[in-house]
A = this chain, B = another copy of it.
Amino acid sequence: MDIIVLQRNATAKDLRHIVKKLEKRGFKANISKGTERTVIGVIGDTSKITEDESNAFGAMQGVENIHRITQPFRLASRDFKPSDTLIRVGKTVIGGKKIQVMAGPCAVENMQTLMNIGREVKKAGASFIRGGAFKPRTSPYSFQGLGEEGMKILAEVREKTGLPVVTEIMDPRDIDVILKYSDVIQIGARNMQNFRLLQEVGEYDKPVLLKRGLSATIKELLMAAEYIMSRGNNKVILCERGIRTFETTTRNTLDLSAVPVLKKLSHLPVIVDPSHGVGIWDLVAPMAKAAIAAGADGLMIEVHTNPEEALSDGEQSLKPANFKTLMKELRLVAKAVGRTI
């Protein structure tokens, strides 16, 4: 069901023309003549009307605007699948009662550092190791990651700690190496609308952690999930990581209301990355607790044994001791909202 609002001065001919177009496309038109405007209700399965067709209707003579009623996403919607989706990675389940914590450095730097971090976060209760081997950096002169070498280090740390690996893909040409070494493929915020990359990861039976873009609406995030799911991969984990606003005391503005909104609109699990959301290490703990209280199914937290030597994102990384304390506090909050961690 969509609504077409006509201009005040639309003619009877305009109206006929529009109705004819609708009927040709197999829809019925319900015409309401108000005192000020005429409005056409489009009856039929309007979810089949693409954005393009809808825009083209908007360009027709006499049309003021179009209100779409049907959500543009389908596979990702709770209308389509009312029950929560659980995503299994080995023995770990994302989206269930237990909150999963993914922890580790921004970038994989070398074996020793990552192994130390992996052991520390495992001991504190994390259930995934995160770390980037392919790094999207604002500057071409910044550290771009170790590439396949970094992937091997991640796999080695998984071997020793038992923690499954979450790592980012930046280029569809890297899909083979990513599939070989990782357990969850991350799509970063800057690639949320890299549609070719979404289609690529949609071709495989591998969980995808999809981060919300800096200026993406919640509906656009769900449309990006739809891209992946439309290719057959339903294992999508949504991640709120802060949006861009006018506020400058934090790196981004963490939009925690996205958590309950996403849980309402979609059946997919939702996690939160407070480290990128705020960008300052001493704000990570309160926002991690808030994320859980808001209903998140998991957290992604940056941890580094030596933030001041980190090759990336040192400012927002927790030291292992702080991470350990945080995990204890998180357990209490999780319990308060009927979850475990």
Contacts and interface: CB of A to CB of B under 8 A. Distances in A.
Interface residues of A, number: 114
23 contacts: A1-B36, A1-B37, A3-B3, A51-B139, A52-B142, A52-B310, A59-B281, A59-B308, A72-B139, A136-B193, A136-B195, A138-B193, A139-B226, A170-B194, A172-B173, A173-B173, A190-B193, A217-B249, A254-B255, A256-B256, A287-B294, A332-B336, A336-B336
A171 B193 contact: no
Which residue among A44, A59, A264, A309 has the maximum number of chain B CB atoms within 10 Å of its CB?
Answer: A59
A51 B138 contact: yes
Interface stretch (A122-130, A153-161, A203-211, A311-319): A311-319
A264 to B, nearest CB: 8
Given A1-B37, A1-B39, A59-B317, 15 more contacts: A30-B41, A32-B43, A34-B69, A51-B142, A59-B310, A136-B193, A138-B223, A140-B227, A172-B173, A173-B196, A190-B194, A213-B215, A215-B215, A257-B283, A329-B336
A75 to B, nearest CB: 9
Contact of A293 (B250, B283, B289, B317): B289
A333 interface: yes
A188 to B, nearest CB: 9
A50 B218 CA distance: 29
Number of copies: 4
A265 B248 CA distance: 14
A331 to B, nearest CB: 9
For the complex of A and B, 6 pairs with smallest distance between CB atoms: A215-B215, A1-B34, A59-B314, A293-B293, A32-B41, A290-B294
A201 interface: no
Contacts of A313: 52, 55
A265 B247 CA distance: 15
Interface of A: 1, 3, 5, 8, 30, 32-37, 39, 41-47, 50-52, 55-61, 67, 69-70, 72, 79, 136-143, 170-173, 190-191, 193-196, 199, 213-215, 217-220, 223, 226-227, 230-231, 243-250, 253-261, 264-265, 277-278, 281-283, 286-287, 289-295, 307-315, 317, 329, 332-333, 335-337
Contacts of A277: 257
A194 B191 contact: yes
A215 B218 contact: no
Nearest to A72: B139
A186 to B, nearest CB: 15
